[in-house]
Chain A
Amino acid sequence: MKILVTDDSRVMRQIVIRTLRQAGYDDHDIVEAVDGRDAFDKVGTEKPDLVLSDWNMPEMTGIECLEALRASGSQVPFGFVTSEGSPEMREKAANAGALFLIAKPFNEDTFKDALDGVIA
C-alpha cells in the first residue's frame, strides 16, 4: 500500500510518517507532497492508495485538493491531518468526501482510531 503524506511543513511530514510507523503502519510505501497542488499531481503520477493531507497550505489547500480530485473523477481515499478540528471543518471535510479528520496534536492511538479499517 502506498500513502501520500501532504504538508507544507517538512517537520510535520516527518512527524506524520513517524506516527504512522509508531501506530504499526510501518510496511507501507510513503511518498510526500509539499502542498495541495503537488498532492493533486502526485495522485496522478504515484497512484497512492491513501492521501493524508494538511488543510492550510500555500498554492492549493487540502480541501481544494480534495475537491479538485473528486471533480477530476479520482476517488482516492483521503483524510485530513490538520491543526484545526472544528465541527464546521469536519462537516466540510466529510461533505467533500474525506474519510476522516485527525486534529493536531495527535498520537499513534489517534492514528489507529482513524486509520483502522482504511488501511488493510
Chain B
Amino acid sequence: MTLQEAQSITALLDQETVQSIADEIWPALVGDGEAFVPVPVAPPAEVVSAWVTISGPWDGAVVLTCAPATAEALAESVLMTRPPTVVDDEDVADALGELANVLGGNIKSVLPGPSSLGLPQIGSAPTTGRLDDVCRVNGQWRGQSLTITVQGATPALHPSGTEVPQ
C-alpha cells in the first residue's frame, strides 16, 4: 500500500529541527527578543489553529495552535501595535496564518521534494492521521500555550485505490 511505503514525518523531521526553525522565525516576525519556548504549559480550553498543507513525497500540514487570546497577542506583536490601536479579527487570522505559512515554508525546505505549499487556512485543525506521522512541539510564548504540529494527511484524503491485499 502507498501509505505504508510513504515515510512518516518522524523519519524525516525531529523536534529539534522544528524548534530551530521557530528560533529563527520568532525574533524576525514576532519581534526582537521574542521566543517560542519548547516547554509545555497547560493547554487552553479553547483553541484556534492556522495551518498550511505540504503536498509532495510527504503529504500533510504544518499547524500552529493556541488560545484565541494568544493569537490576538501574537498579531499585536507581529504588527507592533500599541494601545489604543487594536487588531481586528482579520488581522489576527492573517498574522497567525502567516506564522504558519513561514513555518510551513521552512519545514517544507527540509523535507524531500519536489513539493508544494498550500495557502494558509485558519479554524479547527485538520485531524491527524497515523500516530507515527506526527511531529509535535508543545511549547509556550510569553507563558501561553502554543503548539507546532507537523502532521501527515489523514488516510481518507488519500485512498490507496482498490488493490486487494494478497
B-binding residues in A (CB < 8 A): 8-12, 14-15, 18, 56-58, 82-86, 88, 103-107
Q: How far is the CA of A22 from the CA of B14 in the complex (A)?
A: 34
Lowest 3 A-B CB distances belong to which pairs?
Answer: A83-B105, A105-B28, A84-B105
B150 to chain A minimum Cβ distance, whole angstroms, is 15
Q: When the two chains form their complex, are residues B98 and A105 in contact, meaning their CB atoms are under 8 A apart?
A: no
A83, B114: Cβ atoms closer than 8 Å: no
8 contacts between A and B (CB under 8 A): A8-B119, A11-B79, A14-B79, A15-B29, A15-B78, A56-B119, A84-B109, A84-B117
Give the contact-size bracket for chain B. 20 to 34
A56 adjacent to B117 (CB under 8 Å): yes
A58–B119 touching, CB < 8 Å = yes
When C-beta atoms are compared, the residue in chain B nearest to A84 turns out to be B105
A1 CB to closest chain B CB (Å) equals: 25
Return B8 CB to nearest CB of chain A, in Å: 22
Task: Decide if B128 is an interface residue (CB 8 Å cutoff).
Answer: no
